[in-house]
Amino acid sequence: PSALAQSQARAHQEQLTKPAGALGELEQLVIRLAGLQGRAQPCIDQCHISIFAADHGIAAAGVSAYPQAVTAQMVANFAAGGAAVSVLARLVGARFDVVNLGTLHRPDPDPRVLDRWLGPGTADFSQQAAMTVEQRDAALLAGAERLAQAQAAGCDLFVAGEMGIGNTSAATALGAVLLERDPEQLAGPGTGIDAQSLGRKVALIRQAIQLHGAGRPDVLEWLRCLGGFEIAAMVGAYLHAGQRGVPVLVDGFISTLAALLAVRLNPALAPWLLYGHCSAEPGHRLLLQALEARPLLALGMRLGEGSGAALALQVVRSACALHNEMATFAGAGVAGPGA
Amino acid sequence: PSALAQSQARAHQEQLTKPAGALGELEQLVIRLAGLQGRAQPCIDQCHISIFAADHGIAAAGVSAYPQAVTAQMVANFAAGGAAVSVLARLVGARFDVVNLGTLHRPDPDPRVLDRWLGPGTADFSQQAAMTVEQRDAALLAGAERLAQAQAAGCDLFVAGEMGIGNTSAATALGAVLLERDPEQLAGPGTGIDAQSLGRKVALIRQAIQLHGAGRPDVLEWLRCLGGFEIAAMVGAYLHAGQRGVPVLVDGFISTLAALLAVRLNPALAPWLLYGHCSAEPGHRLLLQALEARPLLALGMRLGEGSGAALALQVVRSACALHNEMATFAGAGVAGPGA
């Protein structure tokens, strides 16, 4: 981040026709974005949203309200423009792609979906490691590749979304490990399971953490044992964003868990991550706290797909428009305070 | 509000390709808007923002960080497109007008500003009633007139913004009376005064409440004694919105105070009022509580002008787009829960 652009943006804010600080968090946001984009007048001309989709072996254990087939069905729905994030991407004029990293069945070729299929979903992490080393590394690379492509196409802000029946279980397991908390403190209803299924979800996660913890895994090994292809892809995209200097708007619970993994792997990434919203999934708040993140919105959403970030993008754009288009005291002939 | 449209919208939400409730407050918002607009697929094609501006006699007592001249200067800035709300209105494609109800000096004719000038601002309410009966009623009417004009031009959603150096003092005084609280609990820095000026502001408001309370005023009489031309105009616009069935998106502290006055005058208005944001002005939260209002955003803004509502409009539009454009489970061939 550029300290010069940031201080120029701060000085510009003080000249705008409003009481100092009256735009609240929008002022801090645009000043921070100025530093990230290295220009005193930041803007989001082109936002890129990549949706990473994959299935999870743990879903067979009944931790989700929906069957695994929904992952592939939703991949088609994203591509056809009918999913929530598809609608929001259109509304905000964001570029949008969908990456299939491993649905239960290998999909037929579809020109609207990027095929990076690594297998029929992960293995059931309550029994064995979710991924092989090769799968994990290929998923990390697939994410980094999307970021690089988006940047090459001129993206000012990157959003990673996800879809994967069972992935709140994987994210809860990884979150519990990283935050050193009992899974019960993070576990939530995901797509909407009842209390009994929630109890089973927590028990399976506890068991899995014990199983894999015996090998004293590091962060990348935990990701392999408990994660998902789409989670690894998001980690790869975020890490690459930090290296390439592309600001990221993080979405909900799963995205924030991927952000925490990425920041643990490279703490220098942290300044590049902005946070779009706080979801209703109970673990999200804990992850945000650990990242010292202040999300822009809190609307009780719990959908993932990048939907919360796509909504928050409108706040980021508004902050930029205000910064770049408002008149200054001098320009508008408005007296300043105490004048 | 139409209960039929509301229940049709609720049933439609249940068919959309997302877990039930996963869009959180956006779902409640669009269902409520369906009821207000009387159509199962609500939308905001045309939003109208009216900015009401006027000066306040109390400002001469040193309760603001800015000189009174700023009110007229900002009227010109709104019209020229340089103020925060001007920028946001452009960004969201809202229609926009500015009404001068009484700046300190009568302005030269300006085709971009509606002249409804009622006098050189209000009188100092710590010494005498802020307005005459005629001024108050003309201001109420001017607000109702803007609402009627906006509706005639096809407005789907109405926003009232305000500008008036000293108007947080008037709003704090009226809020303290309506909520039966000491002004200290509501008073804040407004445009940015120091602790000493804040103490003076509170003392003047206490004195004014005692002075005018002797006449056992009703709500309209309190409005006359302590209010401002722009506050009365907002009350008039809101009351008329309830009568004419136009949904309103309420802005910040001053707007919410006007909403509370209007709801006290006509409780049937309440369902027509949506709330855009919670400002940093301490009294705002108390007013929102009294109205049982849940604002969409909380970004620490404290600017007024309709700026928070203009920002929140994007959330309302997003909720409508999701509702109207997302695929259904059946249409997209996505399995529902437990399938």
Predicted ipTM? 0.97
Q: What pLDDT does residue A64 have?
A: 87
Q: What is the C-alpha separation between B274 and A139, in angstroms, rounded?
A: 44
B45 Cα to chain A: minimum distance (Å): 13
Average pLDDT over chain B, rounded to an integer: 96
What's the CA gap between B161 and B312, in Å, rounded?
13
Establish if B330 touches chain A: CB-CB under 8 angstroms. Answer: no
Q: Apex CA B97: angle with CA B175 and CA B76, to 5°?
A: 90
Report how far residue A14's alpha carbon sits from residue A16's, in angstroms, rounded to the nearest whole number.
6
Which ranges of chain A does DSSP label H, i.e. alpha helix? 3-15, 25-37, 69-80, 84-92, 133-152, 167-179, 195-213, 219-226, 229-244, 253-265, 282-290, 307-325, 329-332
Does the distance separating the beta carbons of A69 and B301 come in below 8 Å?
A: no
Please, which residues 48-67 of chain B have a Cβ atom closer than 8 Å to chain A? 65-67
Q: Smallest Cβ distance to B22: which of A21, A303, A326? A: A303
Sign of the alpha-carbon torsion through A56, A58, A64, A69: positive
- The pLDDT score that the predictor gives to residue A65 is 85
pLDDT in tens, B28-44: 999 999 999 999 999 99
First to last CA, chain B: 36
Of A77, A172, A194, nearest to B20 by C-alpha is: A194
Q: Are the CB atoms for A9 and A40 separated by under 8 Å?
A: yes
Hey, are the CB atoms on A318 and B88 less than 8 Å from each other?
A: yes
Per residue in B144-202, pLDDT tens? 999 999 999 999 999 999 999 999 999 999 999 999 999 999 998 777 888 888 999 99
Q: Determine the Cα–Cα distance for residues B115 and B108; give it in Å rounded to an integer.
A: 9
Contacts of B322 in chain A (CB under 8 A): 84, 87-88
For residue B148, the model assigns a pLDDT of 98
Q: Which of B301, B315, B334 is opposite residue A74, by nearest beta carbon?
A: B334
Provide the token pair at A180: 């050193």
Strand intervals (E) in chain B? 47-54, 95-102, 114-115, 157-163, 248-250, 273-275
> In angstroms, what separates the C-alpha of A134 from chain B's closest C-alpha?
31
Q: Which of B162, B230, B281, B305 is catalytic?
A: B305
Give A280's contacts in chain B (Cβ within 8 Å).
24
Greatest pairwise CA separation for chain A in angstroms: 71
Cα separation, A84 vs A308, whole angstroms: 10
Query: Alpha carbon A164 to chain centroid distance?
Result: 14
Q: What average pLDDT score do residues B75-82 get?
A: 97
Q: Give the separation between CA B224 and CA B246, rounded to whole angstroms.
A: 26
B128: Cβ–Cβ under 8 A, 6 or more apart, which residues?
none
Amino acid code (one letter) for B106? R
A198 close to B (CB below 8 A): no
Among B29, B50, B2, B27, residue whose Cα is nearest residue B240 = B50
Q: Which pLDDT score, from 0 to 100, does residue A293 have? A: 97
Quote the DSSP letter at residue A106. Answer: P
Q: Is residue B64 predicted with pLDDT exceeding 80?
A: yes
Our CA-based measurement puts residue B193 at a distance from the nearest CA of chain A, in whole angstroms, of: 9
For residue A180, what pLDDT is reported? Answer: 97
Q: List the alpha helices (DSSP H) in B153-279.
A: 167-179, 195-213, 219-226, 229-244, 253-265
Exposure on the CB side of residue B43, measured as CA atoms within 13 A: 8
pLDDT tens sequence for chain A (339 residues): 999 999 999 999 999 999 999 999 999 999 999 999 999 999 999 999 999 999 999 999 988 888 999 999 999 999 999 999 999 999 999 999 999 999 999 989 999 999 999 999 999 999 999 999 999 999 999 999 999 999 999 999 999 999 999 999 999 999 999 999 999 999 987 778 888 889 999 999 999 999 999 989 999 999 999 999 999 999 999 999 999 999 999 999 999 999 999 999 999 999 999 999 999 888 999 999 999 999 999 999 999 999 999 999 999 999 999 999 999 999 999 998 765
Tokens of A211: 């199983």
DSSP string computed for A114-133: EE---SSS---TTTS-SS-H
Task: Give the tokens for residue B90.
Answer: 């452009």
pLDDT at B338: 60
DSSP per-residue string spanning A39-72: SSS---S-EEEEEEEE--GGGGGS-SSS-THHHH
- Domains of chain B (ranges plus CATH)? 3-42+323-332 (1.10.1610.10), 47-320 (3.40.50.10210)
| Residue in the structure block whose two tokens are 């005064």 | B193
The angle subtended at Cα B94 by Cα B91 and Cα B98, nearest 5°, is 110
In whole angstroms, how far apart are CA B253 and each of A222, A261, B172, B256, B323?
A: 49, 41, 9, 5, 30
